[in-house]
Every structure is written in structure tokens, then in C-alpha cells.
Amino acid sequence: MNSDDTIVAISTLVGEAGIGIVRLSGPDAIIIASKIFKPIAKKPVKELPSFSVNLGKVIDNKNFVDEVLLTIMKSPKSYTREDVVEISCHGGIVPLRKTLELCTKNGARLADPGEFTKRAYLNGRIDLSQAEAVCDIIKAKTDLALSCAVSQLNGSLTRIVDKQKNIITDILAAIEVAIDYTEEDVPDIDKFDIIKKINGIEKELEKILLTFQTGKIFKEGIRTAIVGKPNVGKSSLLNILIGQDRAIVTEIPGTTRDVIEEMINIFGIPLILMDTAGIRKHSYDAVEKIGIERARNELKNADLVIFVLDSSNELSAEDFHIAELLSSKKVILVLNKSDLTRKLKDISSLRIFDSSVFVSAKKNTGIEELKKAIYDLFIQGDTNTSNFFLTNMRHKILIENTINSLKNVKASCENNISEEFIALDLRAALNSLGEITGEIPTEEILNRIFSNFCVGK
């Protein structure tokens, strides 16, 4: 990425809307804007004050393109710490693309995905964990996910990392003094004190790791497969949960031939529901066979399985066959058709479920109990988002690497290993923490992170 050039992108969804924004950032942003924008106030664009909103027209060789509002944010007080110009057009596809084209004709380069935020990071406005939080805010599916992302953007993770880094840096400084001035009158290293401090750091970092499973659920949701033999009410259950007729419901077994996916919000948790084809051990229908195979594949990736049984019938060989596929999964049994005479008495022989709920998809009963069972299975402890939740796998791995390096430090202290080895592991711990906030960036890591962004952010 060349930060000396000026980039441009449409920063809003392209389509029919009330407004759409074309964003410029870079040293020539204001110059380019002045070539295509004519203010109603007839004042030169370069003389317009920062943080001013100005009515005018986008012009292409004196031809009127659109009436727009132009906002200027001059360096360094902008999102990227560069000169930024935002042109608010009418939200149609043609005026947006025409304005974008005029910007590129006058010297701007089309921005890469996430390049505006990448420049904000490279210019020191935010650190890398905060840049990742911007992407999380954009992709947040629920209020809880949004709260976690906003907390990280506001520096909650940065403060935790910096606090532990400061302690490690102090320990390393004392070690390096002892190494460099062996013949001077320098106090001996108190290795018991080092171990005590390292234990304290480990405790704080392990507390953060314990929040990861919940944080990951807040961010990514619970991928949930609805399975069962044909005609037990899987599609009816999906329709009730999402509040609309998404899946076809008939009395004919095997109606669902493909995987249907929908997302709902239960108590702030994204639940990604997949209604699968009814699973039989043997099928002679070629299309149904494909659906069954896809259902089996979805099971492999599911965080949760809702196993639907027909409570108006006894367990069948097909039920036991499905149960065999679920031995390593979190499973909630849904005993559907509870409005009918109950013939299913004993489910303990299945031995694969974490909890069970009686439901009538037809009468819409037991649904709230099912939602609560899902929530209780995955979420333990306080979910107050004023507390910190770790949501990013990259951060988790780096914290684990830090803890491993600190364990090596303790082992060296306990076994009276040379201070040089202690210093090496302390530096490794610092490097791992530094990678979280981007103090030690590599182009590969930056490209991987910012490629997940949309263009224009």
C-alpha cells in the first residue's frame, strides 16, 4: 500500500437509497474535490473550513451530475489522520458511480478493502486491535456483539495489554541491568519476586482467556443444525423460531431436500439455524440422498444440534441411527408434537443429549423454554458487556503464546537458569502482546486482517 497517494471508494451500499457517500483520503483529497465540486457559496474548496458541510454540485466538464453535500476533514483531525473529503450524493447507483469515476479520473486510486481503517492504524490514530474492532462493529449481528466491539474500539483490550506489558518491561529491565553490569555493584535478581509477578500476570491473562468462548458466541453466534428423521416437524420448528414460513411444511415425509439457513437473536445471542433434510439410514430417492448427505456435513460444523423427536411415537431405529451421529456434539432434544397423545416415555436410552424440551410447533408452545435451554447451555456467568470479553481468535492465540513464554520464565527462575534465557522468554512474551496491538506488524498479518473489511471503510 502506498500511503502517499489519494484513495477513493463508495462508503455506503450501492443501490437505491436516500443518500450515498463517496469518500476520499490522502494528500490530494481536497485538490481532487475542488476539480469536480462547485460550492453554491462560490468559495474555493481549499478555503472551506474543516468539519464544514457545504452544498454544491458535482460537475463533469460543466455538465451537471448531482447536487451534493461535501464535508471536509483536514489532517490530522480525521478518521485516517489524512485530509478526508466525503461527498454525500443522492443514493442512486448512477450518481455514485459517476462521482467515483470523476475522482479516479482526477488522480485518486480505488481503495482496497479496509484501506481507510488501515491508514488510520498506520498513521497512529488507532492500534491494530481497535482497527479489528471497527470491522466487528460493521459485522455485529446483535446488541451484545456491538457492545463488545465498541468496548474494544474504545481501548479496553489495549489497556489490559499495556498494563501487563509494563510489568514485564520492568522485570526485563532489571534482568538486563544484571546481565550488562555483572561486575558493578548491582543488586542480585530476586527470582522469587519475578515468579510472584509472573504469577500475577498469568492470572490476569487467564481470566481474559476464560471470556473467549462467550465472547466468540457474542460475535459469531451459535451454528445450530435442526436434525431428525423425516416428518417430525423440523421445518415447522424453524418457521416458528424465525417467525415466518421459510421452510415448506407438508405431511409428506422428506419435503426438505436442501439445507435452509436463517439467523435469529435469542437474548442477544446470534443463533444461525439450519433446517436439514430428514435423515434416514437408507433412501432410494436420488435427490433425497443428496439432502441427507448435506445434512450430515452440516452436523460436522454445528456448535449445537437440535434433535427433533416425535413425542407421539416411540423411538425408532432411525432415531437411534441419528443419535449415533451426535456423540461428540452439544445436543438439545426437542420432543415435538406435545399437543398429541404422548407415546414417547423414555428418552434416556439415547444418552447423547444435554437437555430436553417438550414443544408443539403446531400450537407454538415450549418455544421460550427451548430458547432458554440453548442460552443456558452456552452462556455461563455474567454477560454484562461493561466487563471485557475476548472475541478474536488471533488475540486468544497471542495471549496463549504470552502465557507459554511466561511459564518458561518461571521454569528458568525455579531451575536457576541463566538470566540470558529469562530475558529471551520475557522478550517473547512482550512480542506476543505487542502483536495484539500491532506494535510489530507484518504485511501478511495486516493483509489478512484488512481483507475482511468492506471497501470504503
Q: What is the pLDDT of residue 346?
A: 76
Residue 158 CB neighbour total at 10 angstroms: 19
Among 3-17, 25-39, 172-186, the range of highest mean pLDDT: 25-39
**Residue 186 predicted with pLDDT over 50:** yes
CB 302 within 8 A of CB 223: yes
pLDDT at residue 249, rounded to an integer: 40
DSSP 8-class letter at 46: G
- CA separation for the pair 379, 95 (Å, rounded): 47
Mean pLDDT for the stretch of residues 415-435: 93
Dist CA 434 CA 262 (whole Å): 38
How many Å separate Cα 64 from the centre of its chain?
Answer: 42
CB 203 within 8 A of CB 164: no
pLDDT exceeds cutoff 70 at 116: yes
Instruction: Tell me the per-residue pLDDT of 216-246, one tens digit each, with 9 for 90 and over.
Output: 999 999 999 888 888 888 888 888 888 755 4
- Asked if residues 116 and 9 have their Cβ atoms less than 8 Å apart, the reply is yes
User: What percent of the chain clears pLDDT 90, i.e. is strictly above it?
Assistant: 53
Domain 132-211+389-438 sits in CATH at 1.20.120.430
- What confidence category does residue 284 fall into, taking pLDDT thresholds of 50, 70 and 90? very low
C-alpha cell read off for 327: 456423540
Q: How far apart are CA 379 and CA 142, in angstroms?
A: 15
Looking at residue 3, what is its pLDDT? 67
So what's the pLDDT on residue 117?
94
Q: Span 75-86, mean pLDDT?
A: 96
355 vs 347: CA distance, rounded Å: 11
Neighbours of 49 (CB within 10 A): 9
Label residue 382 by pLDDT band (50, 70, 90).
low
Q: Which residues contact 300 (CB under 8 A, 6 or more apart)?
A: none
Domain positions in the chain: 7-126, 132-211+389-438, 222-378
Other beta carbons within 10 angstroms of residue 364's beta carbon come to 12
Mean pLDDT within 397-426: 94
β-strand pairing of 84-89 with 20-25: antiparallel
pLDDT at 383 exceeding the cut of 70: no
Question: Using CA atoms, how far apart are residues 361 and 339, in angstroms rounded to an integer?
Answer: 9
pLDDT at 182: 62
Instruction: Answer whether residue 296 shows pLDDT above 90.
Output: no
Q: Which CATH superfamily is domain 7-126 in?
A: Probable tRNA modification gtpase trme; domain 1 (3.30.1360.120)
Give domain 222-378's CATH architecture.
Answer: 3-Layer(aba) Sandwich (3.40)
Q: What is the Cα 305 distance to its own chain's centre?
A: 22
The reported pLDDT for the residue numbered 325 is: 81
pLDDT at 384 over 70: no
**Sequence-separated (6 or more) residues with CB below 8 Å from residue 200:** 167
pLDDT at residue 295 in the model: 66
Reported confidence tier of residue 185, pLDDT bands at 50, 70, 90 = low
For the chain, the distance separating the N- and C-terminal CA atoms, rounded to the nearest angstrom, is: 15
| Residue 307: exposure state from Cβ atoms within 10 A (0-12, 13-18, ≥19) | buried
Q: What is the mean pLDDT of the chain?
A: 86
Query: Which residues, 6 or more positions from 415, have their beta carbon under 8 angstroms from its beta carbon?
Result: none
Predicted confidence at residue 430, as pLDDT, reads 96
Question: Would the pLDDT of 89 be above 80?
Answer: yes
